[in-house]
Amino acid sequence: MTRTRAAERIQGFGTTVFAEMSALAVAHGAVNLGQGFPDFPAPTFVQEAAIAAIRDGHNQYAPVGGVPRLREAIAVDWRRRFGREIDPEREVTVTTGATEGIFAGIQALLDPGDELLTFEPFYDSYPASVTLAGGRMKVVRLDPPDWTLDVNALRRAITPRTRVLLLNTPHNPTGKVFTRAELAAIAEVCIAHDLVVIADEVYDQIVYDDHVHIPIATLPGMWERTLTLNSTGKTFSLTGWKIGFAVGPAELVGALRTVRQFVTFATATPFQEAMATALTEAPGRGYYDDLRRAYTTRRAALTEVLRAAGFAVLEAQGSYFLMTDFAGQEHATDAAFCRWLISEIGVAAIPPSAFYAEPATAPRLVRFCFAKELATIEEAGRRLVRMPARRSLAAGS
């Protein structure tokens, strides 16, 4: 029997669906509404700040917790938005994107055999990070069209080995923004069972209509048990810079930092300096309002394009993703539909089954990203209307 040299732990990880669909999109010259990255330019003042930082010689290793200016800017931002005083030295750590925050946070908080609970569908790095920690991931399902939390299902999923609840709001891929009532119910369960929360809030500035993002760390009794993760890549349309951060009590942030010092140790110094400028200047420049306004326009444009092509579009309350059905199209799975959509229609999307523990149980939906120029969305629209007419569900197809 041949034995692979790769560790057993990583067997089955495969290639992420994002990489697969992006490669297919390139091969077929498809309009890429798959992977979640903006195709429009980032704010000039942030780009200029990075160039200035490089020229000013901010080019050597940063401290493991992050450059002081950025940590201070993050603390100021938390005070401004949530009225909480945080210690930039001990309660903030910069990470190489939220992905490192998720990985290091999970390694820091789970022992082998411990359970981490999260909501399904879930971001695809969660299970891999749990597996590498030797832990077990359990899921509580959210169902379309509203993705409403079932608190009893959450309570039932808890066992004596449950240590961590990983909550993502605003939520990828559903666009759900957890309500205050839902967060209060989650908080009550976490306090009752002494769970730590990892809060993945990378889309915190991207919410629509009357929906409000509430960090679960700001609920009574939650600060001391919550590690909040964020990504400036999402907020400032600079995903390639990979600047994320963790905020929380010194004990949790310290544990993450302990792991981080042996994973990446330091994150790109000039980009951290530039993100300090971004966070400091954004409110005065009206940046967050502009961001929301622009995304609201993009969301409307993509909704219109998808409806014109015959898709039923679910509401996105936050993030930059829309979920639609593909009912009536004759494809066995969402992945098969997405491959066909790329090769035959020239538009890339993501199959949400990749966000399910058992992909076969995923609802028949597709995820489209609207962090795109309006021209990109319009071009996708011109291609999507070429889809064959959908056979009527009523006709039993």
Ligand X SMILES: Cc1ncc(COP(=O)(O)O)c(C=O)c1O
Q: How far is the CB of 229 from ligand X (least distance, A)?
A: 7
231 binds ligand X (CB under 6 A): yes
Q: How far is the CB of 200 from ligand X (least distance, A)?
A: 5
Q: How far is the CB of 389 from ligand X (least distance, A)?
A: 33
- Considering only 93, 107, 162, 168, the residue that binds ligand X (CB under 6 A) is 168
Q: How far is the CB of 168 from ligand X (least distance, A)?
A: 5
| CA-angle at 384, arms to 383 and 389, nearest 5° | 125
Close Cβ partners of 303 (under 8 Å, ≥ 6 residues apart): 313, 322
Q: How far is the CB of 232 from ligand X (least distance, A)?
A: 8
Between residues 222 and 350, which has the closer beta carbon with respect to ligand X?
350
Long-range contacts of 148-157 (CB under 8 A, 24+ apart): 148/182, 149/119, 149/178, 149/182, 149/185, 149/186, 151/185, 151/186, 151/189, 154/117, 154/185, 154/186, 154/189, 155/189, 157/117
The Cβ of residue 64 has, within 10 Å, a number of other Cβ atoms equal to 16
Instruction: Say which amino acid occupies 44.
Output: T
- Considering only 78, 103, 123, 271, the residue that binds ligand X (CB under 6 A) is 123
Whether the Cβ atoms of residue 279 and residue 232 lie closer than 8 Å to each other: yes
175 binds ligand X (CB under 6 A): no
Alpha helices in 4-95 (DSSP H): 17-28, 44-55, 68-82
127 binds ligand X (CB under 6 A): no
381 binds ligand X (CB under 6 A): no
Between residues 274 and 384, which has the closer beta carbon with respect to ligand X?
274
233 binds ligand X (CB under 6 A): yes
Whether the Cβ atoms of residue 133 and residue 107 lie closer than 8 Å to each other: yes
Close Cβ partners of 109 (under 8 Å, ≥ 6 residues apart): 163, 164, 196, 198, 227, 252, 255
Between residues 166 and 314, which has the closer beta carbon with respect to ligand X?
166
Q: How far is the CB of 238 from ligand X (least distance, A)?
A: 10
Between residues 282 and 384, which has the closer beta carbon with respect to ligand X?
282
174 binds ligand X (CB under 6 A): no
Between residues 309 and 371, which has the closer beta carbon with respect to ligand X?
371
Whether the Cβ atoms of residue 373 and residue 301 lie closer than 8 Å to each other: no
What residue is closest to ligand X based on CB?
97
Binders of ligand X in range 70-99 (CB under 6 A): 97-99
Q: How far is the CB of 8 from ligand X (least distance, A)?
A: 26
Q: How far is the CB of 4 from ligand X (least distance, A)?
A: 28
Between residues 110 and 384, which has the closer beta carbon with respect to ligand X?
110
239 binds ligand X (CB under 6 A): yes
For helices 269-281 and 68-82, angle between their N-to-C axes, nearest 10 degrees = 30
Between residues 69 and 367, which has the closer beta carbon with respect to ligand X?
367
Between residues 32 and 168, which has the closer beta carbon with respect to ligand X?
168
Phi, psi of 57 (to 5 degrees): 90, 20
Query: Distance between the two ends of the chain, CA-based, in angstroms?
Result: 46
Phi, psi of 366 (to 5 degrees): -135, 150
Beta strands at 92-96 and 243-247: parallel, antiparallel or unpaired? antiparallel
Residues that bind ligand X (CB under 6 A): 36, 97-99, 123, 168, 172, 200, 202, 231, 233, 239, 244
